[in-house]
Structure 1
Amino acid sequence: MATVFGNISVETPKFTVVQSLGSSNAVEVRKYGPQVRAEVLYDVSPNHSVMDGTGTPFRALAGYIFGGNTARTRGGSEKVDMTAPVVVQTTPPGGASSEKIAMTAPVVMQAGTGAGAAADGNSDGGNKHVMNFIMPSKYKSIADLPVPKDSRVRLFEVPERTFAVIRFNGRMNAALAKTKEQELRTAAAEEGVKLSDNPHAVQYCSYNPPWCLPWLATNDIMIPVIE
């Protein structure tokens, strides 16, 4: 029942607070260490909201961590612990990896082509998002993780990077995400912190399952800092 009331009981990414932005503790610059992620690229409708169509990629990623995989050293399958948040990004038409965008900005839901999909040239340039699960911190590289059985699931490594972040409560939707992203950009500009202006580098992070009471759900919006 704890998750109904917004409790976060799984591992979350570790970070160092570099700077608070404005008077609110909800807006800050954070430095995150390296991560390993699993991602699924998926189609969304042309007039999409940030959380449209997330059921299919979530099930695919959940299937991977709950045993839809092959252990690298002993055969069989391996259960990978769930973590939070689930990250979504948008992808550009025909375009580059979400993580490549973030690193060249320079530097998880995100719109656009996913890291693995772009590398393999499998993007069709349509309306797509990419969903990421962040792997537990004990996994230091792809070689430590079991191999996905579902071809839609791709593993990739993310280097250390710095983001401006705003934390807020509520059910993530397009209107709320737009409002909070603007609040974050305004707070950063007032403090002289330069952020990526690429919309596909923005990461939308949700920490709670759908059955959490909406007003208790925790979210982050993260934008790469240009250093």
Structure 2
Amino acid sequence: MRKRMWMFWSVCAVAAVAVFSLSLAARAAESAPYKVVETSGNIEIREYPDLVLASTASRFSARGNDGSFMKLFRYISGNNAAGNKIEMTSPVFMEPDTAGAPGRMGFVMPQQIASRGAPAPKAGDVSIRKREGGRFAVIRFNGVMDARKADAQEQKLRQWMKTRGLESEGVAERAGYDPPFTLGPFRRNEVLIRLKSKEE
């Protein structure tokens, strides 16, 4: 019995290491650049440049199961005017639904692709758009991200911002850095809130 239990936990440990290694490999791909201005525990103030995204409508509560993820994945897999495959980058940005518009999911275009112009999507429900750069407050957390967890982290971030006298601009974004097979404890998730410029 003890031997079986030992073998079971050994297999679990090997599997966990394998998934962790795959997750690290996935993160080794190009990631959206930013500059850290301030750090406070798991919260950062970051400066982002303009980014180019392939984007489509998405319900955040569906976590990509509404087909939004696959629409964007098909785009970078060659379903574009150039027929080119585009490297998957991180993170995947997600904007929640608002009263006036559906949410959006966006894949960040690699810098080389963005600089020369991303190819036009073949699918009518995928578009290329610019994500305006700027300063963001960001909170980082692990686990499988759902609306409830993201909302709780957003409230923590807004409370921290309040203590610093920082004002927000627009809705909060969510960002996921890992593929679906990554175990919850190894997943990197973030909530980002654009900060209002002090000059405004």
Q: TM-score, normalised by structure 2?
A: 0.81
Q: Report which structure shows greater RCO (CA 8 Å, sep ≥6).
A: 1
Q: Equivalent residue for 1:40? A: 56
Q: Equivalent residue for 2:64? A: 54
Distance, in Å, in 2 between the alignment partners of 1:136 and 1:177 is: 26
**In 2, are the aligned partners of 1:57 and 1:131 still within 8 Å (CA)?**
yes
Give the number of aligned pairs.
177
1:20-58 deviation per Cα after TM superposition (whole angstroms, max 9, x unaligned): 24xx1x20110001110011114x4xxxxx341513011
Measured after TM superposition, the shift of residue 3 of structure 1 is 7.9
- Report the aligned-residue RMSD: 1.9
Q: Equivalent residue for 2:151? A: 178
**In 2, are the aligned partners of 1:170 and 1:218 still within 8 Å (CA)?**
yes
Q: Which residue identity is paired with 1:168?
A: F
Q: Which residue identity is paired with 1:35?
A: L
Q: Equivalent residue for 2:91? A: 85
The runs of 5 or more residues in structure 1 that have no matched partner are 45-49, 72-76, 96-112, 114-127
Secondary structure of residue in 2 paired with 1:182: helix
Secondary structure of residue in 1 paired with 2:137: strand
Q: TM-score, normalised by structure 1?
A: 0.72
Instruction: Spell out the pairing of 1:1-227 with structure 2 (5 A cutoff).
Output: 4-5=19-20, 6-7=23-24, 8-21=27-40, 24=41, 26-42=42-58, 44=59, 50-52=60-62, 54-55=64-65, 56-71=67-82, 77-93=83-99, 95=100, 113=101, 128-140=102-114, 144-196=117-169, 198=170, 201-227=171-197
Secondary structure of residue in 1 paired with 2:112: coil
Measured after TM superposition, the shift of residue 161 of structure 1 is 1.1
**In 2, are the aligned partners of 1:3 and 1:209 still within 8 Å (CA)?**
no
| 1:159/1:174 CA distance change after superposition, 3 Å | closer
Secondary structure of residue in 2 paired with 1:70: coil
| 1:29/1:53 CA distance change after superposition, 3 Å | closer
Q: Which residue identity is paired with 1:159?
A: E
**In 2, are the aligned partners of 1:40 and 1:154 still within 8 Å (CA)?**
yes
Distance, in Å, in 2 between the alignment partners of 1:132 and 1:140 is: 14
Distance, in Å, in 2 between the alignment partners of 1:220 and 1:53 is: 14
Distance, in Å, in 2 between the alignment partners of 1:164 and 1:61 is: 26
Distance, in Å, in 1 between the alignment partners of 2:95 and 2:143 is: 19
Larger helix proportion of the pair: 2
Greater Rg, structure 1 or structure 2? 2
Q: Which residue identity is paired with 2:51?
A: Q
The runs of 5 or more residues in structure 2 that have no matched partner are 1-14
Q: Once superposed, which parts of structure 1, at least 4 consecutive aligned residues long, lie more than 3 Å away?
A: none
Distance, in Å, in 2 between the alignment partners of 1:20 and 1:182 is: 18
